[in-house]
């Protein structure tokens, strides 16, 4: 579930509004005051357990905070994930902006939103390692999103701390995919609001675009995709809150469903906006470009459909039905 009304989520919404609301999007980076308020309210530590130095807030509430701040140009989700990984390695949490990477300590790996991160947490080979960004030679790589990815050669740096962990790659994938699914559903919802406002205000042929049935139906279809994305993200959150070991399944489903839904929804949003939506002068690109980047992160929906299908093909048809109805893998 995604609880946008919880205290944590409300405080995120307030921070978002105070720092400009929708206008916060106009810079490619959110104002420093925005991140400072996150730190002040401890939102970056909200999800980590109390033992680890966090607040142990339920994922449903943390997801609500993510929802209410999307798509501000801040590494909030990345920091939440990095801190969860540090917690799982029994290491001290990061104090500021952080991000993560997956892979062996002697390889080159992608770091989401690398520019913004002061700390980077690497998961791989049964280890969790904490690096300072300035120790990593990070190279910007071509990116669909303004929150650009970077790539770093981890063999050229030493972590400040490192610990053994017995969590599996699929646990880590479940964490990343689930939080991203919330972010994607939220950005789709935001872009839908923008589109509704636009077609209600813009007039052609002497009436608002919203009065044309073709426009109504495009947005109705897109809204259904937004609702589906929301459900997929909610089910992924519920699974991850319940039992991390079985969460991979719902997280993979969310990845596939939302990846597919994004194409239908964003093409409708772009279409009903006309040319203005295809500019840097209007807000839609902040949503579209991030959605197109997030759906590719950690493998696109096609790769994940293949993974799910490969797994399902091993199972009998009773398990297929059980998965559909109960989410149990």
Partner 1 sequence: MNRFNFPAIKPNPALEELRSEVQAFLLAEKEAGYFHSEPECWMSSSDPEFSRKMGARGWIGMNWKGYGGHNRSALERYIVTEETLRFGAPVGAHWIADRQHAPMLIEHGTEAQKADILPRIAAGECYFAIGLSEPGAGSDLAAVKTKAEKLPDGTWKLNGQKIWSSGAQHAHYMVSLVRTSPPDGRNRHVGLSQVLIDMSAHGVSVRPISDLAGDAHFNEVTYDDVILPADALLGEEGGGWQQVTSELAMERSGPERFLSSYVTLEQAVIELQGKMSSSARARLGLIYANLRTLRGMSFGIAKLLEQGVSPETEAALVKDLGNSLENKVTQNVRAMIGELPINELSDTMKRIINIGVLRSPPNSLRGGTTEVMRGIIARQLGLR
Measured from the CB of residue 277, what is the shortest distance to partner 1 in angstroms? 17
Please return the burial class of 317, using the count of CB atoms within 10 Å of its CB with bins 0-12, 13-18 and 19+. Answer: exposed
Measured from the CB of residue 213, what is the shortest distance to partner 1 in angstroms? 8
CA of 82: how far to CAs of 79, 117, 161, 232, 243, in Å? 5, 10, 14, 23, 19
Q: Which of 223, 292, 296, 297 binds partner 1 (CB under 8 A)?
A: 223
Closest CB to partner 1 among residues 104, 221: 221
Closest CB to partner 1 among residues 46, 199: 199
Closest CB to partner 1 among residues 33, 193: 193
Q: Is residue 294 within the footprint of partner 1 (CB under 8 A)?
A: no
Binding mask 161-190 for partner 1 (x = CB under 8 A): -------------------------x--x-
Binding mask 51-90 for partner 1 (x = CB under 8 A): ----------------x-----------------------
Q: Is residue 312 within the footprint of partner 1 (CB under 8 A)?
A: yes
Determine the Cα–Cα distance for residues 303 and 288; give it in Å rounded to an integer: 21
Binding mask 253-272 for partner 1 (x = CB under 8 A): xx-xx--x------------
Determine the Cα–Cα distance for residues 215 and 275; give it in Å rounded to an integer: 15
Q: Which tokens is 4 given?
A: 């946008």
CA of 105: how far to CAs of 81, 125, 128, 181, in Å? 19, 8, 10, 27
Number of residues that bind partner 1 (CB under 8 A): 58
Measured from the CB of residue 196, what is the shortest distance to partner 1 in angstroms? 6
Closest CB to partner 1 among residues 297, 312: 312
Q: Is residue 317 within the footprint of partner 1 (CB under 8 A)?
A: yes
Tell me the longest C-alpha to C-alpha distance in the chain. Answer: 67
Measured from the CB of residue 205, what is the shortest distance to partner 1 in angstroms? 16
Determine the Cα–Cα distance for residues 228 and 313; give it in Å rounded to an integer: 25
Considering only residues 194 to 213 of the shown chain, the ones binding partner 1 according to CB under 8 A are 196, 199-200, 210-211, 213
Q: Which residues bind partner 1 (CB under 8 A)?
A: 1-2, 4, 67, 186, 189, 192, 196, 199-200, 210-211, 213, 215-217, 219-221, 223-224, 226-228, 230-232, 234-235, 238, 242, 250, 252-254, 256-257, 260, 301-302, 304-310, 312-313, 316-317, 320-321, 323-327
């Amino acid at each position: 579930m995604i609880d946008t009304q919880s205290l944590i989520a409300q405080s995120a919404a307030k921070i978002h509004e105070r720092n400009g609301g929708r206008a916060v999007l106009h810079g490619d980076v959110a104002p420093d005051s925005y991140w400072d308020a996150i730190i002040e309210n401890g939102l970056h530590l909200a999800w980590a357990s109390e033992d680890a130095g966090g607040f142990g807030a339920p994922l449903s509430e943390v997801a609500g905070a993510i929802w209410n701040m999307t798509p501000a140009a801040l590494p909030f989700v990345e920091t939440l994930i990095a801190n969860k990984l540090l917690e799982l390695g029994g290491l001290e949490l990061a104090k500021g902006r952080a991000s993560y990477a997956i892979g062996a300590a002697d390889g080159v790996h992608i770091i989401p939103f690398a520019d913004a991160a002061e700390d980077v947490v690497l998961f791989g080979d049964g280890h969790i390692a904490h690096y300072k960004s300035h120790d990593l030679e990070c190279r910007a790589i071509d990116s669909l999103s303004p929150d650009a990815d970077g790539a770093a050669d981890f063999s050229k740096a030493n972590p400040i701390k490192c610990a053994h962990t017995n969590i599996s790659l699929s646990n880590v994938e479940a964490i990343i995919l689930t939080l991203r699914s919330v972010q994607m559903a939220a950005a789709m919802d935001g872009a839908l609001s923008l589109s509704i406002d636009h077609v209600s205000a813009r007039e052609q042929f002497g009436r608002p675009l919203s009065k044309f049935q073709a426009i109504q139906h495009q947005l109705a279809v897109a809204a259904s995709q937004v609702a589906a994305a929301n459900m997929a993200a909610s089910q992924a959150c519920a699974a991850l809150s319940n039992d991390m070991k079985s969460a991979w399944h719902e997280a993979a489903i969310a990845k596939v469903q939302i990846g597919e839904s994004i194409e239908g929804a964003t093409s409708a949003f772009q279409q009903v906006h006309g040319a203005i939506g295809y500019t840097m002068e209007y807000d839609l690109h902040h949503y579209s470009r991030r959605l197109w980047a997030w759906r590719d992160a950690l493998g696109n929906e096609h790769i994940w459909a293949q993974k799910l299908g490969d797994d399902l093909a091993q199972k009998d048809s009773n398990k297929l039905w059980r998965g559909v109805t109960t989410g149990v893998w």
